[in-house]
Chain A
Amino acid sequence: MLSYIARRLVIAVPTLILVSVFVFVLQKLLPGDPALVLAGEERDPEVLEFIREKYRLNDPVIYQYFHWMKAMLQGDLGISLRTQQPVATLIADKLPVTIQLAIMAMVIAFAIGIPAGILSAVHKGTAVDYIANFIALSGLSIPNFWLGIMLILLVSVQLGWLPASGYESPFTDPVKSLQTMIMPGFVLGTALAATLMRHTRSAMLGVMKADYIRTARAKGVLENAVIIKHAFRNALLPIVTLSALLFGELLAGAVLTEQIFTIPGFGKLIVDAVFTRDYAVVQGIVMCTAAGFILMNLIADVLYFLLNPRMRSSL
C-alpha cells in the first residue's frame, strides 16, 4: 500500500512540472504589462523600470521560470503584485473557505444524489425512476448562477430565512457560518447530485443483476439489506472514485457561485487576480489547484484499494 502511494506520488511530479510550465508560459503569452498595472496611475518610466527590476520582469523567461520554481519549492509562492501580501498567505486565507464550501456541496450532493440513484435503480422503469431522472436532468441543465440568484431572491429577499451573501468562519460563529454556506453549498451540490445520482443508478443497476444478489435473497436477507449491504456496498467503488474527483473540481473554486454569494474563496481570488494581472497569485492558485487535484486522484485510488478486497490482497 505504502509503496503504491509512493509510486503514485513519484508519477505526480512530472505532472506538476508540466502544469507549472504550462501555467508560466500561458501567463507570459497574455497581453498586457504587469508593471503598468502595478504602477497604477503612475507612468514615470523610472518607476516602471524599478518595478520590472524588482519583480525580475526583465530577466529571460527561462530564468524567471526557474527562479519561480526554486522559490516555490521552498514554499514561497511569490508576492502579490496587487496587495503586496505573500501569495502563500493569500491562498492559506482563502483555501479553508473553499474547502468548507466544497464539503458543504459534497454533503448536499451525497444526501440527494445517492439515495435518489439507489431509488431510481431499485425502481427502474417506474414513476420513481422517471421522476428522479427528470429532476437530475433539471439539476444538470439549470445554470448555477440562475439557481443561485433565484435562491437569493426567494430565501433571502422574500422569506428572509438566510443571509444572501457574506462569509463567516466556522470557528468564530458556527451557526452563522452554516447559514451563509447552505445556499451556495446547495447550488453547487445539486449540480453534483445529478451527476452522482446517474452514476449511482448505473452502478446499482449493474450490481443488482449480479448472482450474489440472488444468493443474498436466497438466504432470506430482507430487501433493504440486500440493497444496502449487498448491492450498494459493491456499487460504492465507482461512486467513491467519482466523488473524490468531483471534490477535486470543487477545490478549484466555484467562480460564479462564489461571485453571486460574495464568498471570499478561491474562485473570487482567481477572478480578481486574473483581472488585475496579478501573475504570482494566478500561478500560485493554479499550482495549488493542480496539486489538490492530484491529491484527490490519489485519495480516490487509495479508497478504491481499501474498498476492494481483490485489489487489497494483490498488494
Chain B
Amino acid sequence: MDDTDNGYAIVIEDLVKKYDDLIAVDGLNLEIKSGELFGLLGPNGAGKTTTINILNGLLKPTKGTAFVAGYDVKKDLNNIKELIGVCPQEAALYKFLTGRENLELFGNLNGMPKNKIKERMDYLLELLDFEEDSRRKVKGYSGGMLRKLNMLVALIHDPKIAFLDEPTVGMDPRARRKVWEFIGSLKSQNKTIILTTHYIEEAEALSDRVGIIDYGELIALGTPKELMEKHEAKNLEEVFLKITGRRILEGI
C-alpha cells in the first residue's frame, strides 16, 4: 500500500456533500498521514459523521473526492473495504447473537481465518474486561456494553485504518481509560485512526493532530499544542468554544 498512498492514509479534495439543499460538507480539504491518530472535532451537525461515511463508501460525494490509502472512494471502494474498520456512531449489532457471535460474524465477513478470529477476539475481550458479558446475548446489554462491543466489532480484523465515530460515549471512566490506552497502542502498530469525540480532553490527550470543522468547513488544523498556543487557550476545549459556533454569535 505504501507505494500508492505516498505516506497519506486519507486525502480529501474539495469535498462537498449536500442533502437536498442542506450543505453538510462544504469544500473540505484535509490530509491525514499514515500512522497518525487524527481527532476530528466539531459541534453537533458539523459534518463529521457525513465525512466519515463518504470515506468508508456509505455515502457518495456531491462534488470533489477523497482517497483512502491512495484509493479513490468513487472508483476503488473494494480495495478500501479490505483496509478499513468503522465504529458507527449508532451501535449496529445483531441483538439475538451473543457478543462473541457478533465478533465472529464480522471476523468472517472480513475474511479472517478461524483461528485468527478466536485469538484476536480473546485478546480484545480481555483488554476491555468484556469476557463474561461477551457470552450473553446483545439483547440484554446495557448502553455502555453496547458501545464497547460496537467498537470491538470495528477492530476485530485489526484494520490498517480505523474510523471511530464517538466510540467512548456512554462508557464508564475505567472503560474509557482502557479504550484510550488501547487506541494509543494502535499508534505504535502504525495504524491510522480517525477519531471523533465530544470529550475534547480525550482528543487532546490522544491525538497527534486535530481538525475542527463547523458547518462542513475546516476551521482549525494542527497539533493540540499548536492550536492552544495560536488561540491563547489553556486547553483544547477552550479553543473549541472560542472558534466554533461563530455563525450563531455573529448572527450570520
Is the A/B pair a real complex? no
Residues of A within 8 A of B (CB): none
